[in-house]
Structure 1
Amino acid sequence: MASPSPIPELSRNRLPTLFEVLSRRTLPPVDLFSFYIYMRDQQRSVDYLDFWLDVAQHMSLCRHYVRELRRSVMIGTPDGERSQSKRSSAILESIGDMDHPAAGPSMLKTEKERDQDAQMSAFLREEVASGVPLGHSPHGSTGSQQSALRQTTSMERQPRPSFMSSPMDLTSDSNSPAHTVARQDIRASAEKILFTFLLPGAEREIILPHSITQEITISIEERGRDDPEVFDAAKDYVFQAMERDAFPGFLRMKALGNLVPPSMMMRLIVGLLSMFAGFWVAFILIFLNYSRHIRLWLILPFTIGVYSLASHQYALDPILALIGLSEYTFMSFSRIREPYVRTLLNKRALMVLLVTILVDAGVCVLFILVPGKRL
């Protein structure tokens, strides 16, 4: 049975935290989809986010597996009696339902969650120590690595479920498996994370302190561990790195603006060209002594120029913001559905429009009302 999906907190009267974004409790433009795009296109460090999501998925697999075993033990099925020792059965019964769906960093867990996760990891270690067959070749061997990669290739190459349809799909718990989890699935998941992100020369190697990487490698390959606690130190380090280095920039871009850098550059170019054209035509009309009603046409290039430059300066297109649109890739837009962000962007949009009107009015009055003089 899948754990319940996180529900976005619509009453939040503040900007979201990184944990709320990662646990899918936010709405566009500060949702997980937008953060993934930001990490991929702006930070160029999406491997860290993918590592976090894979570790969260591994945690979900473990919870799902333990819930199924606990259920079988509690109803007294033969499978439960056959696969568990008395000590393991006692651990299973003491764990509880584990109904918390989000796999967050250690420092944000409640006391109950910490206890349940610790007991779950202890149970999985107990299984390894008791010699439960995992269905793969010996740890650290080439065959083990190739087997794990073969078992997870299809899962690794597919888009993440939360991103398969659209950025609006926030209600599905993408970490909850829709099938029965076997013990070898947990082992394969742990090995996939190790071989994909942590080993030197891995396809998507992430930079972590050597002590953390070495401890994880030894735990998985030599001690045979695959419980979630193996990745706790790496997961916490990655979370803190994203929270410190990436998340503030993400909030500035998505909660205080609604444009991506390519759009900002396009507006800068359009604004400079429009202002150059406006000044050039204005001086020609003044020095050829054209009448003021003809010079009224200068409003067009100056308005376009000032509006474009203001949009570039504030990373915000005020008209798009007021109609409720935010850009997540170049010329691709999503509705602004996070209430607090919508209010914040509306206020900034009105401020940018006021600045645009004042500057545009000043420039137009100067060049339209100044007396003409034919040279």
Structure 2
Amino acid sequence: MVAVAVNDNVFLAGPARRLQRELFAVESSVVSDTAEAIDGAAVLRAYGAVRPMRDKIDLGAARSEARGVAAETWSTAAGPVVELAGALGIAIVFALAWSADGAVDLAATGTVLVALVLMYRPLHGLARAVFGWSSGLASLDRLDELLGLPAEPLEKVTMRTDPVASLRVEDLCFDYDSQPVLRNVGASFHPGELVAITGPSGAGKSTLLGVLAGVLPPATGRMVIDGAPATRALLIEATAWMPQNPTLFRDTILRNVAFGADHPERARVVEVCRRVHAHDFIAERPGGYDAVLQEGGTDLSMGQRQRITLARALYWGAPVMLLDEPTSALDDEQERNVIGVCRAHADLGGLVIVATHREDFLRHADRVLELRDGTLIEWERQTADVLLH
């Protein structure tokens, strides 16, 4: 009987461990996706990718529930299996104890029955322990893998072919915790312009770009694109936003560049990556564009992450590019390339607005606006030339 019970435990332990590993893997994926959705909420909004991320998390949660039910079913079955083995053992003992002439050796039978009763609880505990071991081993396996690793609008972004757009803002105000950051900001931006916005740290440059991208709702004011009120759908279509801290997701490089696309255009992805000098280091990675990045893109340098997020901004062909410190982690040569990319976009009729402290960007800008005390002040070109030389 002991052999039967132990064999049953071992038989159940294999599937239990497999189910526990699958459960931990799915749960880990759901947690990671949820964390990415929280950290990258602004990018999801800017590129109309809220629905795909929500669907991905919902699917993971459903898979987690299914694996959890299966694992619990196997675990719950352990007790009854041992009880069945015990009952079978008792039946076998009685059968063996029955003599050929029909007499029963009561002393021997009683001794064996007492032994079976005493063995029942340890065997039952052994069954539970086996499942505990399976769960623990699955947890350790997953831990080893991890330690070894270095209210929402649902509009969807679409490819834009017309690069021309103008942008006008009127009386924009934005507060953080009742503290005014933007105060009645008004400005007009025209097709073909490369505009630099500068100012001290904490002045609100990133906030202004976030408002222009539609990821931060202004307290008051309005925005107009090509003469039309800037609705949420229009902002997603007309603007491409690159935040100061590059946001990458646990997905392939291809899908990170073509973020929000159901079916990424590989040729387009390669094209924009070549333009920002990202193609070479991507091609050198095992898997190339199909390589899956670690959470947050932590397996890339900051400069590489910046170039991939800039490629993302170029991918959809949005006429208005909003770039927040796009060259802060790049060397002089790479910065000149980014300036050239921005200049080329403007020369095609696009509008580029860059928040930056870098002097090269300020020199090459058609206009320089300084954000000071919550308002925009335009530098005279002559003043800018004097300050930057």
TM-score w.r.t. structure 2 length? Answer: 0.23
Higher strand share: 2
Higher helix share: 1
TM-score w.r.t. structure 1 length? Answer: 0.24
Larger gyration radius, structure 1 or structure 2: 2
